[in-house]
Amino acid sequence: VTPFGRDLPRPSPDEAVVYLLGPGVGESVVIALPDGRFVLIDVCRSGHTNLPLALLDHLGAGRLDLLVVTHPDLDHVRGLAEVITKRRPHELWRYPLEASIRDFVAAWGKSQGRGQLVADLRVMTDYMHTADGDVSSAAYGNLEWRPSASYTVTALAPTEYDKDRAMRVLHRRLTSAPRELGAWMKRMEVCGAAAAGDAPNVLSVAVVLELGSQRVLFGGDVLRGAPSPKSGWKGVLRLLAKHHRQHLLEDLVGVKVAHHGSRGAFDATVWALHSKTTKTVALVAPFSASRLPDAVTLRDLKRFARRLLVSAPHPQLLELADAAGWSPAPVQVLSESMAPLVGLRLSARGAPAQWFATTTAATFS
Ligand SMILES: [Zn+2]
């Protein structure tokens, strides 16, 4: 039984479709391109259902051309092993410092009894050591995927500065006692302003999709970062400006909001660029019912976004969004769909982008 309705938008030679899946814990993005190629960014599960795998099946995707694993937090890699085993992606972009991170996460996972995370990451490691696919470590500006003249996916984060920062702390911590790892997570030494438990975010990959003149940013869990101008979103922006590539963050059709819409990931300077001449569409997969975007972030998003699509509705979200000035928008289609899902339809011919959501998602204008 597919958790997706028959009326879910599908790609066509004229249209690409972006789907953001987020059952409340975890998130995953499927990009269906006009020429039949598929990109998957991160993996999530809902109960026993591997949501991106189910969606790829539903769309009849016989292939997975590019898999991006932004960072090794459980809410982004749950079900990763199954995707790699069943789909053998043609190309895999992963977060940098994989070996150090793997050791760290393995040690932490063991101390916390999170065996599944360790097992999922081990499958990725095994895959990396086979000749099946093409595996690269993604960071600012180092990877570009352009299998067709009509679209490009470019890696935007993390920056070298954040990689170095993470590297130093990781190595120091890897030599400490395993039981101290949890305390390290809580002390937020790597991630600066982020909430506890988000330490790997400092290494999170972000990518931008360009289809003709339309751009969509997939922010991963990239944060504002450390106070240095070289860290986090301001670091990415600084490098883009230096390399005259600032347009990659400008006038975006849509943004997969970084880090589930957390306060620590919101950067007003970067958002002002996203919506330089027209407001963008913000897509959010909240971390969980208890970790919704807060009222201040919802108000900030209202300044820059013309529509807010949230992949899972919560009664409290309606209240928070209302207080921030958002009005509920009707869910337009997909009455049969069950999985919480929001998305964008992008015309390959330059027609305005359209949004959609399932009845189990929340939409605001
Ligand atoms: Zn996350």
The alpha carbon of 316 and the centre of ligand 1 are apart by a number of angstroms equal to 20
Taking only the tens place, the pLDDT of each residue in 13-43 is 999 999 999 877 789 999 999 999 999 999 9
- Give the C-alpha separation, 111 to 47, whole Å: 24
Give pLDDT, residue 154.
98
Q: How far is CA 289 from CA 312, 316, 317, in A?
A: 9, 8, 8
The alpha carbon of 197 and the centre of ligand 1 are apart by a number of angstroms equal to 10
The alpha carbon of 44 and the centre of ligand 1 are apart by a number of angstroms equal to 10
The alpha carbon of 130 and the centre of ligand 1 are apart by a number of angstroms equal to 28
**Backbone angles phi and psi of 234, in degrees to 5:** -65, -30
The alpha carbon of 281 and the centre of ligand 1 are apart by a number of angstroms equal to 20
The alpha carbon of 26 and the centre of ligand 1 are apart by a number of angstroms equal to 6
Give pLDDT, residue 132.
62
Taking only the tens place, the pLDDT of each residue in 97-151 is 766 666 666 666 666 666 776 777 777 777 766 656 678 889 999 999 999 999 9
State yes or no: pLDDT of 208 exceeds 90: yes
The alpha carbon of 37 and the centre of ligand 1 are apart by a number of angstroms equal to 25
State yes or no: pLDDT of 74 exceeds 50: yes
The alpha carbon of 52 and the centre of ligand 1 are apart by a number of angstroms equal to 16
The alpha carbon of 186 and the centre of ligand 1 are apart by a number of angstroms equal to 16
Reported as a pLDDT band with limits 50, 70 and 90, residue 189 is very low
Average pLDDT, the chain: 86
State yes or no: pLDDT of 290 exceeds 60: yes
The alpha carbon of 262 and the centre of ligand 1 are apart by a number of angstroms equal to 10
The alpha carbon of 30 and the centre of ligand 1 are apart by a number of angstroms equal to 16
The alpha carbon of 150 and the centre of ligand 1 are apart by a number of angstroms equal to 30
The alpha carbon of 350 and the centre of ligand 1 are apart by a number of angstroms equal to 32
Percent residues over pLDDT 90 in the chain? 57
The alpha carbon of 241 and the centre of ligand 1 are apart by a number of angstroms equal to 27
